[in-house]
């Protein structure tokens, strides 16, 4: 090789070495930079990913807080259930059949569907099979897993499920939870953050193919239960209210019925119900088929396409706080309260009611076409006079009227801690002088026809009259309690403002008592309890046909109220659609049973005492002669069954209440057959006629509602159906009402 060629070759080699060195340095530098980047910048991210690949984290759902009623009865509770899952990558040809059969047989699942899911997830380590598995299924599944040796394929983790022990009771108050455990409606929704606990975790190590290692690292982070709520709602009173509303719904064919029972002095809600309702355990089921039928026939085009979905949405609403309605004549108590407080009227103000009143081009009529004659504010309420109400409203003027409309809380939300409370809106639910409030508007608003309110607003306003003029903020959560039983927070009654003076409140309350004693509210009368109230009947404006709303609102006992009640029947069917005829009796039933339950002592007048039921004396172990003598002294009718000389049993039993001159059946032989009789039909009979019919059939009646002997007061329902065979001496509750003078 020539010398020049050797030099050229040497230079080329050197350049190659240099280039290679440079490349090596660059590559090494890049590696160092990459390592630095991965370590310093992305280190935390990749460390988490590595740990995630090496660790298995199982979530342990926290128990949701329990909801109790005022007496610590459980209304909603989370119970232990289990989540079943499998490791599909552990399913082999050998165990596949056992895996599928065990899961399908025990959990009542489709075998073909399980097989399909296993195939689709064969490369993964986790596949959920079923949640909310109950205790009995868990035991059966555990036994099957051991028997088939599938402990490395099928697994169960603790989970929770929400239960509502009373089914539909207070469902529109409580609401329900979704599949993820979050509250969707009602208390469950509005207090979701409080009720929801903190989930726990079980962290375990796993190998490169994502299987758990034996005897490996495991750390458990305990789940923390959510806070418990104690409501002011009382299960017994809620049951009383719902039973009364259910009967009203069936009897009147109403579209909806609402009711609230409130502590008059504090604003605490003791019961609140809306029917149709639903079962919180199965919120997507429709309990009332007529609700679906309604939307199929009367809904929007969208609702008619899926009336079941429309029915679901409707049944979930707490209409007592969400729905506005025209209060009708119930509103007159607020009108009179404001006018009396401002001195626009006094108790001696007189007005000559001729049956109509003209306002501009409008003529407003009373229910009584000929008018009521000379009236005072007391008889304005007792007779529910529309024309006098318009007269008072016009004397007040729009500004003063609006002052008390606001003061009683009708232009704002009540602030209750319930989900879904609707907001009043100007020119939609009420008139505002600053926007638009004509004389014609005032005339209609004076008797409750062109304004709309919620049932909760009405019962809160009525309570203000009952408690001496204080508008209280309604509430339903009484306190919060942690999982250890420690009281964390207590709700104290909140007075929003003094609406009217105590003297004005007492005066209006006394007139409201007259409404129930002698006026349109007499069907809410309860002997001994001095019920104060007001009836209302309003026409639904804008409806395609004549539809009405019947209502009653009041409190009892009048001189020291324990409870306030509102009852609303939306679109009742039939000829009886007025508040005085169909809403007042429901309120009377609720008031009577609630006050009895609360142990409020009745205060009977002399007239009431003369018609009172008497407690049946204890006659067992007495001689027949002595028993007869005692019953004759009490003017009872009696019948002796058997040939013995001593009374061994009686019907009714000692202590039960029967009418004066009731029937007592006496048994004188230890081995005796009960004397039986058939329940007659009391419907349409007066109190006297019903008593005679009962005695003639060896029965006693308990009078519910009006006990007046007026010919217009007749029986309209009984608690035991006609034709039922019962023991002689049994007590049948018969409800009485009048349809005369109560059409409002």
Measured CA to CA, the distance from residue 593 to residue 553 in angstroms comes to 16
- C-beta of residue 132 within 8 angstroms of C-beta of residue 158: no
Measured CA to CA, the distance from residue 723 to residue 671 in angstroms comes to 27
Structural domains in the chain, CATH included, are 57-231 (3.90.1310.10), 321-603 (3.40.710.10), 614-738 (3.30.10.20)
What's the sign of the alpha-carbon dihedral 472, 475, 479, 480? Answer: negative
- C-beta of residue 296 within 8 angstroms of C-beta of residue 307: yes
Measured CA to CA, the distance from residue 319 to residue 257 in angstroms comes to 9
pLDDT of residue 42: 61
What's the sign of the alpha-carbon dihedral 572, 574, 580, 584? Answer: negative
Measured CA to CA, the distance from residue 250 to residue 248 in angstroms comes to 5
Closest to 739 measured CA to CA, from 512, 522, 518: 522
Of residues 356 and 62, more confidence is placed in 356
Kindly indicate the confidence band of residue 264, based on its pLDDT and cuts at 50, 70 and 90: very high
Percent with pLDDT over 90 in the chain: 70
CB atoms within 10 A of CB 141: 23
**Is it the case that residue 69 has pLDDT exceeding 60?**
yes
Of residues 337 and 701, more confidence is placed in 337
pLDDT of residue 131: 83
* 679-717 pLDDT per residue, tens: 999 999 999 899 999 999 999 998 888 878 888 899 999
Closest to 414 measured CA to CA, from 382, 460, 450: 460
- C-beta of residue 706 within 8 angstroms of C-beta of residue 736: yes
Measured CA to CA, the distance from residue 283 to residue 676 in angstroms comes to 44
The arithmetic mean of pLDDT across residues 170-178, rounded, is 95
3-state secondary structure of 319: helix
Q: Give Rg (Cα) of the chain.
A: 37
The arithmetic mean of pLDDT across residues 566-592, rounded, is 95
3-state secondary structure of 371: coil
Closest to 271 measured CA to CA, from 305, 234, 243: 234
Phi, psi for 106 (deg, rounded to 5): -75, -40
Instruction: Characterize 509-528 residue by residue with b for buried, 16 or more Cβ atoms within 10 angstroms of its Cβ, and e for exposed.
Output: bebbbbbbbebbbbbbbbbb
Q: How distant, in Å, are the alpha carbons of 180, 281, 421 from that of 229?
A: 20, 19, 20
**Is it the case that residue 209 has pLDDT exceeding 50?**
no
Kindly indicate the confidence band of residue 476, based on its pLDDT and cuts at 50, 70 and 90: very high
The arithmetic mean of pLDDT across residues 529-549, rounded, is 88
The arithmetic mean of pLDDT across residues 443-457, rounded, is 95
Per the rule left: phi > 0, alpha: psi between -120 and 50, beta: everything else, 244 is alpha
CA atoms within 13 A on the CB side of 80: 9
DSSP codes of every residue in 21-62: HHHHHHHHHHHHHHHHIIIIISHHHHHHHHHHHHEEEEEEPP
- C-beta of residue 524 within 8 angstroms of C-beta of residue 704: no
* 358-372 pLDDT per residue, tens: 998 899 999 888 899
**Is it the case that residue 207 has pLDDT exceeding 70?**
no
The arithmetic mean of pLDDT across residues 331-357, rounded, is 97
Task: Find the length of the chain.
Answer: 744
Tokens of 626: 């002595």
End-to-end CA distance of the chain: 130
**Is it the case that residue 435 has pLDDT exceeding 90?**
yes
Checking 369-375 for CB contacts under 8 A at 24+ apart, the result is: 374/350, 375/350, 375/351
pLDDT of residue 246: 96
* 666-675 pLDDT per residue, tens: 999 988 889 9
* 595-639 pLDDT per residue, tens: 999 999 998 887 777 766 778 899 999 999 999 999 998 888 899
Torsion angle in degrees (nearest 10) through CA of 513, 516, 521, 527: 140
pLDDT of residue 37: 63
Kindly indicate the confidence band of residue 517, based on its pLDDT and cuts at 50, 70 and 90: very high
Tokens of 734: 């018969």
Kindly indicate the confidence band of residue 423, based on its pLDDT and cuts at 50, 70 and 90: very high
**Is it the case that residue 13 has pLDDT exceeding 70?**
no
DSSP 8-state class, residue 328: G
Closest to 333 measured CA to CA, from 532, 48, 135: 532
Kindly indicate the confidence band of residue 210, based on its pLDDT and cuts at 50, 70 and 90: very low
Kindly indicate the confidence band of residue 590, based on its pLDDT and cuts at 50, 70 and 90: very high
Angle at 680 between CA 674 and CA 685, to 5 degrees: 140
Torsion angle in degrees (nearest 10) through CA of 364, 368, 370, 373: -90
Measured CA to CA, the distance from residue 551 to residue 25 in angstroms comes to 92
DSSP 8-state class, residue 88: G
Kindly indicate the confidence band of residue 544, based on its pLDDT and cuts at 50, 70 and 90: low
Measured CA to CA, the distance from residue 332 to residue 458 in angstroms comes to 12
Residues 6+ apart with CB under 8 A from 283: 171, 176, 184, 185, 312, 316
Mean pLDDT of the residues in the chain: 89
Of residues 449 and 210, more confidence is placed in 449
Measured CA to CA, the distance from residue 127 to residue 80 in angstroms comes to 21
Measured CA to CA, the distance from residue 408 to residue 461 in angstroms comes to 5
**Is it the case that residue 167 has pLDDT exceeding 70?**
yes
pLDDT of residue 161: 84
* 374-403 pLDDT per residue, tens: 999 999 999 999 999 999 999 999 999 999
The arithmetic mean of pLDDT across residues 204-214, rounded, is 54
């Amino acid at each position: 090789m020539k010398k020049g060629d050797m030099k050229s070759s040497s230079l080329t080699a050197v350049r190659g070495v240099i280039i290679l060195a440079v490349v090596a340095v660059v590559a090494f530098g890049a590696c160092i930079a990459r390592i630095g980047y991965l370590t310093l910048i992305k280190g935390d991210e990749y460390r988490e990913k590595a740990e995630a690949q090496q660790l298995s984290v199982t979530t342990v759902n926290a128990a949701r807080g329990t909801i109790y009623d005022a007496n610590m009865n459980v209304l909603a509770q989370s119970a232990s259930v289990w989540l079943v899952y499998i490791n599909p990558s552990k399913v082999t040809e050998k165990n596949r059949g056992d895996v599928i059969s065990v899961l399908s047989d025990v959990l009542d699942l489709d075998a073909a569907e399980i097989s399909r899911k296993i195939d689709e997830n064969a490369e993964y380590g986790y596949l959920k099979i079923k949640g909310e598995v109950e205790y009995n299924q868990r035991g059966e599944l555990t036994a099957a897993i051991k028997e088939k040796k599938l402990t490395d394929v099928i697994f169960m983790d603790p989970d929770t499920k929400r239960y509502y022990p009373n089914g539909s009771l207070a469902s529109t108050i409580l609401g329900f939870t979704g599949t993820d455990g979050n509250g969707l409606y009602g208390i469950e929704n509005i207090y979701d953050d409080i009720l929801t606990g903190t989930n726990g975790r079980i962290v375990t190590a796993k190998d490169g193919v994502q299987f758990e290692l034996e005897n490996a690292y495991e750390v458990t982070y305990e789940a923390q239960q959510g806070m418990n709520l104690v409501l002011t709602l009382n299960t017994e009173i809620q049951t009383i209210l719902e039973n009364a509303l259910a009967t009203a719904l069936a009897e009147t064919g109403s579209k909806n019925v609402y009711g609230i029972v409130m502590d008059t002095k504090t604003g605490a809600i003791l019961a609140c119900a809306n029917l149709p309702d639903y079962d919180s355990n199965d919120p997507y089921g429709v309990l009332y088929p007529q609700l679906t039928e309604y939307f199929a026939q009367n809904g929007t085009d969208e609702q008619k396409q899926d009336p079941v979905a429309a029915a679901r949405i409707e049944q979930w609403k707490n209409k007592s706080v969400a729905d506005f309605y025209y209060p009708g004549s119930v509103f007159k108590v607020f009108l009179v309260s404001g006018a009396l407080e401002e001195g626009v009227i006094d108790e001696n103000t007189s007005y000559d009611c001729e049956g109509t009143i003209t306002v501009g081009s409008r003529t407003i009529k009373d229910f009584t076409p000929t008018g009521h004659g000379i009236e005072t504010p007391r008889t304005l309420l007792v007779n529910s006079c529309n024309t006098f109400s318009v007269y008072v409203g016009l004397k007040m003027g729009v500004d003063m009227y609006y002052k008390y409309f606001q003061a009683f809380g009708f232009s704002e939300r009540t602030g209750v801690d319930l989900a879904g409370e609707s907001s009043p809106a100007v020119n939609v639910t009420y008139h505002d002088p600053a926007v638009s409030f004509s004389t014609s508007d005032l005339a209609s608003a004076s008797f409750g026809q062109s304004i709309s309110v919620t049932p909760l607003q009405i019962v809160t306003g009525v309570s203000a009259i009952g408690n001496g003029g204080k508008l209280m903020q309604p509430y339903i959560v009484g306190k919060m309690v942690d999982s250890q039983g420690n009281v964390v927070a207590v709700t104290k009654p909140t007075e929003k403002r003094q609406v009217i003076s105590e003297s004005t409140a007492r005066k209006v309350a006394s007139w409201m008592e007259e409404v129930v004693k002698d006026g349109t509210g007499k069907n809410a009368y309860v002997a001994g309890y001095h019920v104060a109230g007001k009836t209302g009947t309003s026409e639904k404006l804008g409806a395609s046909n004549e539809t009405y709303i019947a209502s009653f609102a009041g409190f009892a006992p009048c001189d020291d109220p324990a409870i306030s009640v509102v009852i609303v029947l939306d679109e009742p069917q039939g000829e009886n659609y007025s508040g005085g005829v169909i809403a007042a009796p429901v309120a009377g039933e609720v008031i009577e049973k609630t006050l009895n339950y609360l142990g409020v002592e009745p205060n009977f007048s002399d007239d009431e005492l003369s018609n009172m039921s008497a407690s049946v004396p204890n006659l067992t172990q007495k001689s027949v002669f002595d028993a007869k003598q005692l019953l004759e002294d009490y003017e009872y009718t009696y019948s002796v069954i058997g040939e013995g000389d001593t009374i061994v049993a009686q019907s009714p039993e000692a202590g039960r209440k029967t009418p004066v001159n009731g029937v007592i059946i006496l048994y004188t032989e230890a081995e005796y057959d009960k004397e039986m009789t058939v329940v007659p039909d009391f419907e349409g009979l007066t109190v006297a006629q019903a008593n005679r019919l009962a005695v003639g059939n060896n029965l006693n009646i308990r009078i519910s509602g009006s006990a007046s002997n007026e010919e217009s007061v007749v029986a309209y329902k009984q608690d035991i159906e006609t034709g039922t065979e019962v023991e002689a001496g049994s007590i049948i509750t018969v409800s009485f009402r009048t349809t005369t003078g109560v059409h409002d």
